[in-house]
Amino acid sequence: MGQGFFVTGTDTGVGKTLVACALLRAFAGAGKSAVGMKPVAAGREGTGWADAEALASAGTVRPPSRIANPYAFEPAIAPHIAAQLAGIEIDIEMIGRAYEELSRLAEVVVVEGAGGFLVPLNERQTGADLAIRLGLPVVLVVGMRLGCLNHALLTRRQIEACGLRCAGWVANCFLPDMPCLDGNIRALEQRLACPLLGVVPFRRDPVPAGIAPFLSLGLLVEAAA
């Protein structure tokens, strides 16, 4: 069975896919076989689901979509609502079995959650329940913008409350001119009680290969051990 990480974020649109793909690229660059998983994708763009396709392209192993992306919905809305409109219910146990299949195909599996950590997946369970079922160390992506301190600290507290290990966090500077950026990063370093895995600088058109050098895999593996 391979090693795995669960990538979550302080909100939707904060760079989870970018960081997850960069991690896959970084592991591949370190000589590891790596595969990405997007258990639930909502919002179809062009001819496919962009996040799931990006993860598939970033890894060294390209598995069947039935296990890499078990649930894919057309509308870009909350997963549980998208599932209701499709007449199905998202089954966390099925996702867990798909993950176990993936973990036999590569040394590292990077799982990207949907939206924020507590986004509902069905009438009873959230993204946190999925993370608990998988039992993986969590990587928290913080979108550096006004309000990120509260969002990051609340998410970190919830990760701990779930009994999961936070392997580290990534500061994604996705705005060109956030005021007091360094001060906000320092505040989170002092309070999140997990390693800062990297600061991703602002890029107008970021690509995973260009972001991977800013991530410290040594810290990630050490924190997850």
Residues annotated as catalytic are 38
C-alpha distances in Å from residue 142, one per residue of 71, 87, 124, 184, 193: 25, 33, 26, 11, 14
Contact status, residue 137 vs residue 224, Cβ threshold 8 Å: yes
- Distance CA(127)–CA(13), nearest Å, equals 16
Please give the full DSSP string across 70-109, using - where no structure is assigned.
Answer: SEEESSSS-HHHHHHHHT----HHHHHHHHHHHHTT-SEE
- Would you call 138 helix, strand, or coil by DSSP? strand
